[in-house]
Amino acid sequence: MRRWAYFGIAIALVAAAPWLIATPYWRGILVLCAMNVLLALGLNLVIGYTGQLNLGQSAFFAIGAYATTILVKTYHWNFWLAAGAAVIGAGVLGLALAAFAVRLRGHYLAIASLGFAVITYQVLVNWESVTEGVRGIYGILPPVPSTVGLYYLIAGIALIVYWLMDNLVRSPVGDTLRAIREDEVSAASLGVKSALWKAFAFSVGAGVAALAGVFYPGFVGTLVPDAFNIIESFTMMAMVIVGGMGTMIGPVIGAVVLTFLPELLRGFGELRLMVYGLALTLVVLFMPGGIVQLAKRK
């Protein structure tokens, strides 16, 4: 009953947010926040529950954005059909990456996944006949005509993804993923096929990142490779860590905080990045379990 009560409160907050924040600029930040929640949830399944240090999440975000846009603008697909194809394609690529990544651990996996993100970025820049390279793709229309409508669409999907993932991690599958995170050798001794479940986590995380990506081009109206550089992967990881990895609500909190904090710090001018970095450092040093850890102490 408590879970359903919290979920009901979350729905109420999501519904009320664009009316509590009435300016067009901040409503746009709400849309960005909803996308970041999806990105954080997808990465948390890999980092927080499986213990795999994946720095290639920005690549799947980019794949979702570019695949959807190209299918819609070049091949005149229906948006939802193109979005579905992009998410499935990213999931398959996640499996392909996992085929190599499952043999790696720690910083080796981080370097391999970071390499995948760099390769994807270079493909976007140099495959000009398809992606338009640094010139970018312009005149991209959103799937719904208004900012509020787009926010409700993405936030609604984020709520559904959260509910599905919450049930997943509470099931025996979640116990299996946590067992791999805590001690892969011991899990294997109990018959857990670590490679299979890590590949599953990579694939689902990639698909969720691509799901966020399909809405990004319509939100900004343009699509350029610089929106998906490797810095974005570190930002996504920061959302998971600051909020509290290995929990469901933690990445949501992290995504909200790290989406709004840079905007709230704009009054500091050039010092805002220093203040932002200092805030992140203090959280990591004194709250290694993230903001969720602080809430539990209270």
* Residue partners of 199: CB distance under 8 A and separation at least 6: 95, 98, 99, 102
Q: To which residue do tokens 């001018």 refer?
A: 269
Task: Dump pLDDT digits (tens) for 255-276.
Answer: 999 999 888 887 776 666 677 7
Query: Average pLDDT, stretch 163-190?
Result: 89
Q: Tell whether 164 is covered by a domain.
A: yes
Give buried/exposed letters for 127-152 (b at 16+ CB in 10 A, else e).
eeeebbeeeebeebebbbeebbebbb
Task: Tell me how far apart the alpha carbons of residues 48 and 162 are, in angstroms, rounded to a whole number.
Answer: 14
Q: Does the pLDDT at position 165 exceed 70?
A: yes
Q: Tell whether 21 is covered by a domain.
A: yes
Q: Tell whether 252 is covered by a domain.
A: no
pLDDT at 270: 67
Q: Tell whether 251 is covered by a domain.
A: no
pLDDT at 282: 79
pLDDT at 262: 85
Question: Is-contact 205 50, C-beta < 8 A?
Answer: no
Q: Does the pLDDT at position 125 exceed 80?
A: yes
Tokens representing residue 277 in the block: 């970095």
Query: Average pLDDT, stretch 200-227?
Result: 95
Distance from first CA to last CA of the chain, Å, rounded? Answer: 22
Range of the domain at 54: 2-229
> Chain-wide mean pLDDT for the chain?
89
Helix residue ranges per DSSP H, 45-183: 57-73, 79-101, 106-126, 128-131, 147-170, 172-182
Q: Tell whether 245 is covered by a domain.
A: no
Query: Average pLDDT, stretch 187-206?
Result: 88
pLDDT at 46: 92
Q: Does the pLDDT at position 287 exceed 90?
A: no
Task: Dump pLDDT digits (tens) for 66-97.
Answer: 999 999 999 999 999 999 999 999 999 988 88
pLDDT at 26: 93
Q: Does the pLDDT at position 295 exceed 70?
A: no
Q: Does the pLDDT at position 298 exceed 60?
A: no
pLDDT at 17: 93
Report how many domains make up the chain: 1
Output the CA angle 93-256-105, nearest 5 degrees.
40
Task: Tell me how far apart the alpha carbons of residues 70 and 208 are, in angstroms, rounded to a whole number.
Answer: 19
Q: Tell whether 258 is covered by a domain.
A: no
Q: Does the pLDDT at position 203 exceed 90?
A: yes
Question: Is-contact 145 221, C-beta < 8 A?
Answer: no
Task: Tell me how far apart the alpha carbons of residues 252 and 274 are, in angstroms, rounded to a whole number.
Answer: 24
Q: Tell whether 293 is covered by a domain.
A: no
pLDDT band at 297 (very low <50, low <70, confident <90, very high): low
Q: Does the pLDDT at position 157 exceed 90?
A: yes
More confident residue, 264 or 121: 121
* Its pTM surpasses 0.75: yes
More confident residue, 185 or 270: 185
Specify the 3-state DSSP secondary structure of 222: strand
Q: Tell whether 222 is covered by a domain.
A: yes
pLDDT at 106: 66
